[in-house]
Amino acid sequence: MRGLGPASRRWFDRATAKRVVGNAWPLRLGRRQIFILPTRFGLLAAVTSGVLLLLALNYRNGAVFLLDFILVALGWITIIACHRQLAGLELWGLEAPSVPAGEPLRIYLKLTNPSQWERFGLTLYQGRRAGVARRLNPGSTARLMLQLPPRPRGRHLLRDLGLKSDYPLGIFNAWVRIGHPGECFVYPRPADFAPPPPGDAGLGATGRQGDHPEDFFGLVRYRPGDRPGQIAWHVYARTGQIQRKHFASGTCMSRWFDLAEAPGDDMEQRLEVLARWLLDASRAGQLVGLRLPGLDLAPKHGPAHLTRCLRALACYPGPYHGINRP
């Protein structure tokens, strides 16, 4: 599809709109959802095969006839093998974690191979950009990753996504279109140096007392250097994700962070200071709340709440739809 112009691409998108996938997860890829066309190398191979056929007819050379027929047969076998790499795969959904401004976007596609044969050359792509090709063993699950250039702060729709494979010879390309656009939130880059938040504004104790100086407060993401005893091994055995047990003092503090109290020369600097305050307070085990014009997020704790707060900063000055999605 790289060789199509804008008008041809629009026509192709309209013609294949009914065969896109991604409107409901999970889904199993069938024959009607898979497209296959020759690559540029495949077109060159077809032209070469035609030239060999003309030479064989002109000179009545049996060896050239045999070589040409072998190439044609190999091409037909390649069509079947290339189509087979995608047929029957199960797709479970797209994921695009929120990132700070200045960092590349990363899109993940979770898929499963329920068949008894390996799949090769599986690649997640968007337009002309493609991720690293992966192999998927029988009965296994993997996440394909596509990295995109950094984008400015905001909520970005990720269109023109798809899954493709050009295995085995690279002369044909089989792909499926993912029609439902994903989305990614780019929140302000946390300030490198931020003044401490107002010491008395919005600071209070929830009155939660524990039986020990430190009580179990929840699970947080594992950081390199954490002791093995801090890792929640039972969670790792169940989900495969490495998480760390987080303990907080008997009195858990709650904080409100208000955009009106954030210092800075312009609005972007104030948002960067807010992002730094939110991250530092969350890592310290505090309940954090966020006040923006038109939005109040009550103090809570945990990665999901921190993600909502950062997404709200990404969407400022609104609208704030989509910040509650997982």
Q: What is the pLDDT of residues 216-271, one digit of tens each?
A: 555 666 666 666 767 777 766 767 777 776 655 444 567 889 998 899 889 999 99
Measured CA to CA, the distance from residue 234 to residue 238 in angstroms comes to: 6
DSSP secondary structure code for residue 17 in this structure: G
- In order of 28, 132, 168, the CA distances from 142 in angstroms are 15, 13, 20
Diameter of the chain measured on Cα atoms: 96
In terms of phi and psi (left: phi > 0; alpha: psi -120 to 50; beta: otherwise), the region of 60 is left
pLDDT at 96 over 50: yes
pLDDT class of 210 with cuts at 50, 70, 90: very low
Write the DSSP string, 185-216: EEEPPPPSS-PPPPSSTTEEE-----SSSEEE
pLDDT attached to residue 225: 61
Q: Does position 50 have pLDDT exceeding 90, yes or no?
A: yes
pLDDT at 311: 94
Which phi-psi region, left, alpha or beta, contains residue 159 (left: φ > 0; alpha: ψ -120 to 50)?
A: beta
Closest CA to 16 of 162, 165, 133: 162
pLDDT, tens only, 72-84: 999 999 999 999 9
- List of residues 6+ apart from 178 with CB closer than 8 A: 20, 21, 22, 94, 109, 161, 162, 163
**Residue-level length of the chain:** 326
Is the pLDDT score of 201 beyond 50? Answer: no
| Mean pLDDT (whole number) for 46-51 | 94
Mean pLDDT of the chain: 84
Residue 91: CB atoms within 10 A of its CB come to 20
- Domain edges within the chain: 6-184, 188-208+251-326, 216-247
Classify 110 as helix, strand or coil. Answer: strand
**Residue range 57-61: average pLDDT?**
90
In this model, does residue 203 exceed pLDDT 90? Answer: no
